[in-house]
Amino acid sequence: MKKYYEEWKRLNIKKNLTGVQAMEAVKQNGCALQYVQTQTEAICMEAVEQNGYALQYVQTQTEAICMEAVKQDGYALQYVQTQTEAICMEAVKQNGCALQYVQTQTEAICMEAVKQNGYALQYVQTQTEAICMEAVKQNGYVLRYVQTQTEAICMEAVEQNGYALRYVQKDIFTKHLVEVTIDGEQFEISKESARSFKESINNVKL
């Protein structure tokens, strides 16, 4: 908000704006809408196109105005008075984490949200394997938010980001490990690595 306040001082905008002056003001800073005396749909539309957060100052919201606001900034969804699935979908397409402001979640909305930002998984009320899979495909680290891990989800997460391995539950992790002894020391490595290691040894010609 400090940034907007500084802009405010530079623009020297006064309260009770009307007509052309109002339109010019919201074109420069959408939040100038709070100082517009008589709002029109055109002025409101211009305001939210410049800054989605200006939606909080719209006196009479329409679906079209709300749609433009969330297209500009998905987080503007928090100011939508009457949410529709279309508006919510547009919001999470712009910013997946806007899912936290969706009043009625559907699988389609959640899927779109995690595709845009895997971290949106933390806001999914009802997780499915498909939603979790999409989330870890986008960012393997979000495995930490998966409530019910499966081997497939864990594999996808680790493939996307190797560091996600730290979030694999022990019962799944150990199923893919074998114990090997090298020079008297014991190590746990993946079964795949063990197979590769064995093949490498067998291929060595002495």
Beta bridge partners of residue 186, listed in sequence order = 181
DSSP string, 23-80: HHHHHH-GGGGGGBSS--HHHHHHHHHH-GGGGGG-SS--HHHHHHHHHH-GGGGGG-
Q: Does the pLDDT of residue 142 top 50, yes or no?
A: yes
Q: Are 53 and 30 in contact (CB under 8 A)?
A: yes
Mean pLDDT of 171-185: 54
Say what angle helices 129-138 and 107-116 make with each other, to 10 degrees.
10
What does the alpha-carbon distance between residue 43 and residue 18 come to, in Å, rounded to a whole number?
10
- In this predicted model, what pLDDT tens digit does every residue of 93-102 receive, in sequence order? 999 999 999 9
Beta-strand (E) ranges in the chain? Answer: 177-182, 185-190
3-state DSSP call for residue 16? Answer: coil
Res 198: pLDDT: 42
Region label for 51, one of left (φ > 0), alpha (ψ between -120 and 50) or beta (otherwise): beta
Res 70: pLDDT: 98
Q: Are 177 and 188 in contact (CB under 8 A)?
A: yes
**122 CB burial (10 A radius; 0-12, 13-18, 19+):** middle
What does the alpha-carbon distance between residue 144 and residue 86 come to, in Å, rounded to a whole number?
29
Task: Please report, in angstroms and rounded to a whole number, the separation of the first and last CA atoms in the chain.
Answer: 72
What does the alpha-carbon distance between residue 206 and residue 191 come to, in Å, rounded to a whole number?
26
- In this predicted model, what pLDDT tens digit does every residue of 15-58 receive, in sequence order? 677 778 889 999 999 999 999 989 999 999 999 999 999 999 99
Res 191: pLDDT: 53
Spacing of C-alpha 194 from chain mean position:
38
Look at the pTM and tell me if it is higher than 0.75. yes
